[in-house]
Structures are given as structure tokens and as C-alpha cells.
Structure 1
Amino acid sequence: MTESKEQDQLLKRINELAHKNKKEGLTEAETRERTRLRREYLKNFREAMRSNIEMMRIFDNQGNEVTPEKVRKIQRKKGLRDD
């Protein structure tokens, strides 16, 4: 899965704070920023993963669709399926 520029920037800043924390420690404001950035990064990651899964169709070796019914229902609700 490719990451967006926003995710790349979040990860870069999270890593900067992690390195600073190892070297010299973080201020209270930096600790709050790190926590906020981690939450935002994970939220974005989960949304992207959920979207990818909801768009996916799974087929067996014989070419029969075996997408789980739970995913099919979500796809129907979003108008991604005709059946």
C-alpha cells in the first residue's frame, strides 16, 4: 500500500520526535504532539486499509467469486456492486 504525502510527512515528524526522545528527551508539548501525530497516522492508515478491503473482490482458482458476504454487503451499501 502506498502512502500519501500527508502520511509521509506525519511519519517523518513522528520519527524525528522518536530520535530526539532517544537522544535528549522530549518536552511536554513535543510529547503531546507525538501522541497526536501517532493517533492521526493510525487513523489515516486504518481508513485507507478499510477502503482497500471494501473495494476488493476475491476469486478462487476456478474463477468463482468468494468475497465474504460481510464485504459484499458493505459494497452493495456503497453502490459498488450490482448484485
Structure 2
Amino acid sequence: MVSKEKLNRINELSKKSKEEGLNTAEKEEQHELRTEYLKVFRERFKKKLDSIEIVDDETGNNT
């Protein structure tokens, strides 16, 4: 899971990017943080999807 501090920093950089722009170091930091966030998100999402079972209403069998 991505820490609250990192999520806050992602939001800070996004806001600053819209308001005044980012310097090169900030752009790199933003890219690294977003990449980490998306990696964790995708892993958790895939895990959630893998745990879903579809059941046929009529037969009660997994499909």
C-alpha cells in the first residue's frame, strides 16, 4: 500500500503542476510516485478480480 505521505505528495505535485508548473526534479519525483501508486493499484485490483467467483443463478454452479 502507498503511504498517506506519498499520496499527499502526489496531490501536492499535481496541484502545483496545474497552478505554476513543475521543475525537472519535481517532474521526475511525480513520475516515480505515480508509477509506484499505479503498480500497487494494479496488483490489488488484479488480486480482487482473481478472487471473484461468478455463480449461475439457475444452477448455483460457478462459471
**What is the TM-score with the length of structure 2 in the denominator?**
0.80
2:27 maps to 31
Q: Which has the higher contact order (CA 8 A, sep 6+)?
A: 2
CA RMSD, Structure 1 to Structure 2 (Å)? 1.6
Q: Which residue of 2 aligns with 1:51?
A: 47
Provide runs of 4+ in structure 1 moved above 4 Å: none
**C-alpha separation in 1, matches of 2:5 and 2:62:** 38
Matched, 1:64 2:61: yes
TM-score of the superposed pair, with normalisation by structure 1: 0.64
- Post-superposition CA distance 1:17-41 (Å, at most 9, x none): 0111122211111100000111111
Out of 19, 25, 40, the position equivalent to 2:15 is: 19
Q: Distance in 2 between matches of 1:49 and 1:35?
A: 21
Count of matched residue pairs: 62
8 Å contact kept, 1:20–1:26 = yes
Structure 2 residue runs of 5 or longer lacking an equivalent are none
Segments of 5+ residues of structure 1 without an aligned counterpart are 67-83
